[in-house]
Structure 1
Amino acid sequence: MIKPYNSEVLQPLHVQNQSHRKFLIDQAQRIPSIIVSSAAAANAVMLGGGYFTPLKGYM
């Protein structure tokens, strides 16, 4: 596997504890929704994918 950029390990992005997972799902359902532009949605996807990882702060 390719080593993550600027790190020795990958950050876990899943919740293994089932009771905590159910709690988080319940909490997520209570968060109000918002409408964003396609550009903002694309930035959120890229942020989640780690494309901005080498950047520090706002550009």
Structure 2
Amino acid sequence: MVLLHLRGQSETVTADVLGLSLASVRSTARRARRNLFSRLCPDRTAREGHPGDLDP
């Protein structure tokens, strides 16, 4: 998340830097966004089908 959002690197560059597949970076970022969203907005999480799916 730091490389993607705070440093502004693309998913492809992040995958290369970390030595991971692009799918792994995307999946991890999606999971992290959902986790963060559910902690920041717990009341909205229960009502939405896919909480925390934010546009990158």
TM-score, reference length from structure 1: 0.22
More helix by share: 2
Higher relative contact order (CA 8 A, sep 6+): 2
Q: TM-score, normalised by structure 2?
A: 0.23
